[in-house]
């Protein structure tokens, strides 16, 4: 991403409703399927370190971050207190089977990422029996100015994202849509209000009442025991077989 987008992320990810929602889902997925808890967690494409900071607050488990942008990596290290390595997910600078779990949020979809190579690299650095957790943007028809700003090249369905993980050698795959209750507002924002290609990304300041409202909707959804047939994102959990 551009430096300006990292700056927006750095400012927003502690409080913006979307970041709070995805972090809660990642922590829940790690708690449910920790992989090999004796080994550290990798955040592959950690951005400015918001999730690593949340993980440090909630768990004593060691963790490492990686980001391609050196300025983002420096921000992530300062924010999370965890070691951060510069590099690309296409060729991870870690030894085989070094991690008990890996998390990657909206990275496989980037224009600069070879998704097959990246998944092969994630499988290589996760120990057998370890867990992979991915978040990916959903549905090609939702492609918008936001994707252009953050350099997304691909959006996914739950089915084709799960198929990619199976082809990469992962098993016990769960793929569920989320940000489902807010999907109509997302369509309105991206396809009507901000449909021009030069529009800004969706990351930014929200008024406190709106931020609380949107986060509250995501929490209602998160507590639902029922899967949703569509959503703005796909959350996948899989085992490195």
* First-to-final CA distance of the chain: 32
pLDDT tens sequence across 114-131: 999 999 999 999 999 999
pLDDT tens sequence across 156-195: 999 999 999 999 999 999 999 999 999 999 999 888 876 6
How much of the chain, in percent, has pLDDT values that exceed 70? 99
Domain that holds residue 31: 3-240
What pLDDT score was predicted for residue 157? 98
CATH number of residue 117's parent domain: 3.40.50.150
How far is 201 from 239, CA to CA, in rounded Å?
A: 33
pLDDT reading at 198 higher than 90: no
The total of structural domains in the chain comes to: 1
**What does the DSSP assignment read for 49-68?**
SHHHHHHHHH----EEEEES
How far is 184 from 233, CA to CA, in rounded Å?
A: 13
Residues 6 or more apart from 29 whose CB is under 8 A from it?
Answer: 131, 133, 235, 237
Q: What are phi and psi of 14, to 5 degrees?
A: -80, -25
What pLDDT score was predicted for residue 205? 83
How far is 30 from 27, CA to CA, in rounded Å?
A: 5
Residues 6 or more apart from 230 whose CB is under 8 A from it?
Answer: 138, 139, 177, 180, 183
How far is 170 from 157, CA to CA, in rounded Å?
A: 17
pLDDT band at 140 (very low <50, low <70, confident <90, very high): very high
Residue of 15, 13, 74, 73 lying closest to 46 (CA atoms): 73
pLDDT band at 110 (very low <50, low <70, confident <90, very high): very high
Of 22-31, 186-195, 226-235, the one with minimum mean pLDDT is: 186-195
What pLDDT score was predicted for residue 190? 86
How far is 141 from 130, CA to CA, in rounded Å?
A: 33
CB 14 within 8 A of CB 51: no
Report how far apart, in Å, the C-alpha atoms of 115 and of each of 48, 71, 97, 118 are: 22, 24, 20, 5
């Amino acid at each position: 991403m551009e430096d300006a987008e990292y700056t927006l992320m750095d400012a927003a990810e502690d409080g913006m409703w979307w970041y709070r929602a995805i972090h809660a889902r990642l922590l829940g997925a790690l708690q449910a399927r920790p992989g090999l808890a004796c080994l550290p967690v990798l955040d592959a494409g950690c951005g400015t370190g918001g999730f690593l900071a949340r993980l440090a607050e909630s768990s004593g488990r060691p963790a490492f971050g990686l980001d391609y942008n050196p300025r983002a990596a420096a921000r992530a290290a300062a924010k999370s207190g965890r070691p951060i390595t510069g590099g690309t997910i296409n060729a991870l600078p870690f030894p085989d089977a070094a991690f008990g779990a890996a998390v990657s949020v909206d990275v496989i979809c980037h224009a600069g990422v070879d998704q097959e190579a990246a998944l092969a690299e994630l499988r290589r650095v996760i120990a057998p029996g370890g867990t992979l957790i991915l978040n990916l943007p959903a549905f090609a028809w939702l492609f918008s100015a936001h994707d252009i700003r953050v350099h997304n090249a691909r959006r996914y369905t739950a089915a084709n994202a799960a198929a990619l993980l199976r082809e990469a050698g992962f098993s016990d795959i769960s793929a569920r849509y989320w940000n489902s209750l807010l999907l109509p507002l997302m369509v309105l924002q991206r396809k009507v209000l901000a449909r021009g290609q030069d529009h800004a990304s969706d990351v930014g300041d929200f008024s406190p009442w709106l931020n609380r409202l949107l986060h509250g909707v995501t929490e209602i959804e998160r507590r639902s025991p029922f899967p949703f047939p569509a959503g703005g994102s796909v959350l996948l959990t899989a085992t490195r077989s």
